[in-house]
Amino acid sequence: MSHVTSAVRTPLVTGGKTYADVTEDISRQVEGAPTREWTIAFTIAVVVLLYGAACVFWTWWEGLGVWGLNKTVGWAWDITNFVWWVGIGHAGTLISAILLLFRQKWRTAVNRAAEAMTIFAVLCAASFILMHMGRPWLAYWALPLPNTFGSLWVNFKSPLVWDVFAISTYFTVSLVFWYMGLLPDLATIRDRARSKVSRYIYGAFSLGWNGSAKSWARYEYMSLILAGLSTPLVLSVHTIVSMDFATSVIPGWHTTIFPPYFVAGAIFSGFAMVQNLVLIIRVVFKLEDYITIEHIESMNKVITLTGSIVGVAYLTEFFIAWYSGVEFEGYAFINRATGPYWWAYWAMMTCNVITPQLFWSRAIRRSIVWTFVLSVIVNIGMWFERFVIIVTSLHRDYLPSSWAMFHPTLFDISDYIFSFGFFFTLFLLFSKFLPVVNMAEVKTVIKSSSERLPVSVSGVAKGERVTNPTFNKDVE
């Protein structure tokens, strides 16, 4: 009687890696000298950061008049960039929290980089809040602090105040989640360190991690608790950001579809940015055995889903504008598609709705080059989406006599460039001094998701390929 066998799922770790291989491969970039590629990239990022910082300083020195704003268009590139960066920061928490709760094993190789991206993207978003205040030294006025001004309190009914609470909470929880996940890996680097300085620094940040059963149990509990706290944040943060617009009476903004539409768009752009970063990390740090085609395909499926949701939202907006019978609302959407900013609207539609549908093709979905190019296009499209929502709704309002055009100046562009220099400087520092892949979590999926068993197990030799899923389940 022949045994019925079937192939196991496509492995998430390839190359027949052992536990020692995982530690060695991922620790290599932390322990070694900076590579030439990293040095070149870091130098470019710092130069861009310094140029952008000089432009931001000049913006504050001269005032916001150096931007292209006018009496009609009071928000433009500043809030466009803010919403864009907040959106990019969504994928990290989704991968860390929601996929952890759903026990998706493919998240283990990409969650560390995605969480770091979230933190740095939120910092970039916060920089635009400070910029558009014009007086950054008074930023604390946005907080409900006791004061001697009479007492002057923030307007708790304003979504701008909700923004402060939502984004600061999101940043805090994301930072704690990311740092707690680093503890086992920091302890590994500490134990392997050859210099006293490295051993002391990594030892201090590993908070005395000793790898005991009690430590691991608390680590697991903590992960689930933080995942539970983070999950509503994924949905609430961009919902509150959308209310900056949805609670107004401006045609094109005053709509109830914004919260789910903004959340889907945020996940859409966030996953696209994760793809761009992990594809570069994968090649530069030679981590092809850990960030596999399966990881890339899984993220492309999320991009396809959220891109389709965004496309439906665009069509729904047009339908509701017509169905409402409000001529101002109807004109706002006709103006988007056929008015002076028609090129931005159709760039948004092409990049966000049409282009991601290419991922329905399995060959394109599993192609490194196609994935990288399409992910860049998605993020370009999502920037145009925010620009279209903000500028085209403001530049032609109820009164034709107040209609105006917005044209970006050198400082609009340079302040945006500053955020890229800031982001990539932080991300490159992270990728050099901290493990970019979560060693501890990758090791937990080796037995069930590797091409070969990492250790000898009950009659199966080390390195022997396992093809029976029943056996694979037993050895977990």
Which two structure tokens, joined as six digits, stand for 43? Answer: 């130098």
CATH of the domain at 194: 1.20.1630.10
User: pLDDT for 417-435, tens place per residue?
Assistant: 999 999 999 999 999 999 9
Residue 177 lies in a domain: yes
Helix (H) or strand (E) holding 368: helix 368-387
Q: Kindly tell me if the per-residue pLDDT of 191 is higher than 70.
A: yes
Cα 30 to Cα 82: distance, rounded to the nearest angstrom: 32
The residue written with tokens 């991206």 in the block is 117
* Angle (CA) 205 207 211, round 5°: 115
CA 151, distance to chain mean position in Å, is: 38
Q: What is the model's pLDDT at position 452?
A: 57
In a domain, 327, yes or no: yes
- Assess if residue 14 is contained within a domain: no
What one-character DSSP code corresponds to residue 10?
P
**Predicted local distance difference test score (pLDDT) of residue 110:** 87
Which stretch of 24-33, 361-370, 466-475 has the lowest confidence by average pLDDT?
466-475
**What is the pLDDT averaged over residues 284-310?**
89
**By residue range, what is the domain housing residue 381?**
20-144+152-449
Residue 448 has pLDDT above 80, yes or no: no
Secondary structure of 423-458 as H, E, C letters: HHHHHHHHHHHCCCCCHHHHHHHHHHHECECCCCEC
> In 3D, which of 459, 363, 441, 471 has the Cα closest to residue 12?
441
| The pair of three-digit structure tokens given for residue 174, joined into one six-digit string | 């994301």
Instruction: Please say if the pLDDT value at position 234 is more than 70.
Output: yes
CA distances to 32, 367, 435 from 184, rounded to whole Å, are 20, 33, 11
Q: How far apart are CA 271 and CA 114, in angstroms?
A: 9
Question: How many structural domains are present in the chain?
Answer: 1
* Three-state secondary-structure class, residue 74: coil
Residue percentage of the chain with pLDDT more than 90: 39
Provide the angle, in degrees to the nearest 10, between the axes of the packed helices 111-133 and 77-88.
160
Report the sign of the C-alpha dihedral through residues 405, 408, 411, 413, in that order.
positive
Q: Under a CB-based contact definition with an 8 Å cutoff, are residues 112 and 438 in contact?
A: yes
What pTM was estimated for this model as a whole? 0.88
Give the separation between CA 373 and CA 279, rounded to whole angstroms.
11
pLDDT at 88 over 80: yes
Helices (H) and strands (E) in the chain, counts: 19, 0
What pLDDT is recorded for position 231?
A: 85
Q: What is the DSSP string of 146-184?
A: --SSSS----TT-HHHHHHHHHHHHHHHHHHHHHHHHHH
Supply the pLDDT for residue 23: 87
Q: Is residue 342 part of a domain?
A: yes
Q: Is residue 109 part of a domain?
A: yes
CB contact burial 123-133 (16+ within 10 A = b; e otherwise): bbbbbbbebbb
Q: For the packed helices 159-192 and 19-31, what is the interaxial angle rounded to 10 degrees?
A: 110
For the segment 131-155, what is each residue's pLDDT rounded down to a tens digit? 888 888 888 888 888 877 777 788 8
Does residue 464 fall inside a structural domain? no
Both tokens of 452, joined, read 């070969």
Q: Is residue 106 part of a domain?
A: yes
Which residue, among 106, 17, 26, has the nearest Cα to 452 in the 3D structure?
17
Instruction: Tell me the HSE value of 169 on the side-chain side, using a 13 A CA sphere.
Output: 18
Per-residue pLDDT reduced to its tens digit, 197-231: 988 999 999 988 888 899 899 988 988 898 888 88
Tell me if 12 is assigned to some domain. no
Contact assessment for residue 22 and residue 299, using Cβ atoms and an 8 Å cutoff: no
**Cβ proximity of 354 and 304 under 8 Å:** no
Instruction: Read off φ and ψ for residue 457, nearest 5 degrees.
Output: -135, 120
457 pLDDT band, cuts 50/70/90, is: very low
What pLDDT sits at residue 16? 80
